[in-house]
Structure 1
Amino acid sequence: MTTILNLQDLSKAFGAVTVADALNYQVQQGEALGVIGPNGAGKTSMFNLITGTLKPNSGRIEFDGQNVTKWSAARRSHAGIARSFQVPQPFSGMTVFENAMIAATQSAGLRGHQAERFCLVVLDQTELLPKANVLAGSLTLLERKRLELTRALCAKPRLLLLDEIAGGLTEAECKSLVQTIKDIHASGVTIIWIEHVVHALLAVVDRLIVIDFGKKIAEGEPQTIMESTEVKEIYLGIEADA
């Protein structure tokens, strides 16, 4: 398989607070990688480092075989790295379709009818086509989550970063969104997914890593990782002899 993302000794600190501590891992093209860890573990900071909105103190980021460590966020976006945000951030006064078009034109570089057709395809994929002409500010939470996913997909990503996209949803809403993410992954999109709703994560990902205090503490097959004593102690708060 082809390595699409390679983090090498990636580190970042704000004074005494370390958010990335010599992170090392690779992501293969077409893989779905899950990331778990307690609040404040540095998971979102890791995404900020990958997308270029945060610069590392040391280490190296390779995307598709190229050293992108010093690339701007815009250049990485154009190269095929896109993300959703934990708190949906749509342009509330614009329609769902207009939100999608901004991503398609600014990040994917599409124009005119080509951009319009592509956005309609993505909106159908994310089940928002019936809401295309609705103002983003009037959407439900699930619909806003779907719009976050839509905007990321309209950037034509080769690597899609999902940041707690299932958070705050009901069980039925979560199940619906998970199916959409499964379909996106099945279409060939490589995914890194940070999530606290672990059962949603386990329904999609091929591999799991655990981060605590910015450091990778475990990596492997999802069910094996979730059953490990170290993960139960650090992530679930269960003592080893419990």
Structure 2
Amino acid sequence: MFSPKRPGELDIHHIDTGRGNSTLIVGPDGRSFLIDAGSSTSSLETSSPPRPNGTRRPGQWIAEYARRNGVSRIDYSLATHIHPDHVGDLEANCPASPDGSYKLTGLSDVDALLPIETHIDRAYPNFGDAKPLDAPFAANYLAYLQSRVKSNKKVEAATIGSNHQIVLNGTEIRILSANGRIWTGQGETSRSVIPTDALSAEEQPNENFYSSSLRMTFGNFSYYTGGDLYCDTHDGRVPWL
């Protein structure tokens, strides 16, 4: 636990549940920003035990941690990309949502305990060619987003280049990439980093490649995060990756 936050400070909490990624940022103005809330079932007990323990689901622990640090709601949340260790997996102990349309896990677990004001996805609802995986965890996450929309809760696609989609007064947060596109450095224009030529099986990008990334500045301090973006060029055979 950090010491109590003081006005004007910027706090960054990397929350380790042993089951996925989650970062809580509390701005100088007290607004909160949650990046991912993973709940993966693929972690091996021997290499990564649940933290602090397995009596609660990871999303519940994340919400409890935020509460203990003075956060009563999440002003912004961002799912960098749609993998279980970033948005939540389906497990036998995942209860149904109040409307019964999805299961509570990861981000939706947090939302059930700490209301999320605005959720930002890499592209929802228009993914283009970068469609999410055809997998139960992805379908569950999309059902959660659809439920938010039906309930008139904010769900936005990441606006590449924007420095006003996520506002924590006293900081600047600029979205640099999302959905396989990257900021050009001018306004809110972006370009695809995926070649237009036909790609071989080895060259096909996976979900990690579509991760959202951002840079936050606070005075002379700069912070970057980019989901699971990577630069594996397959030993130079696929140089664009």
Interval containing the TM-score (normalised by the shorter chain): 0.3 to 0.5
- Structure number having the greater strand percentage: 1
The TM-score, its normalising length taken from structure 1, stands at 0.32
- Structure number having the greater helix percentage: 1
Larger RCO, structures 1/2 (Cα 8 Å, 6+ apart):
1
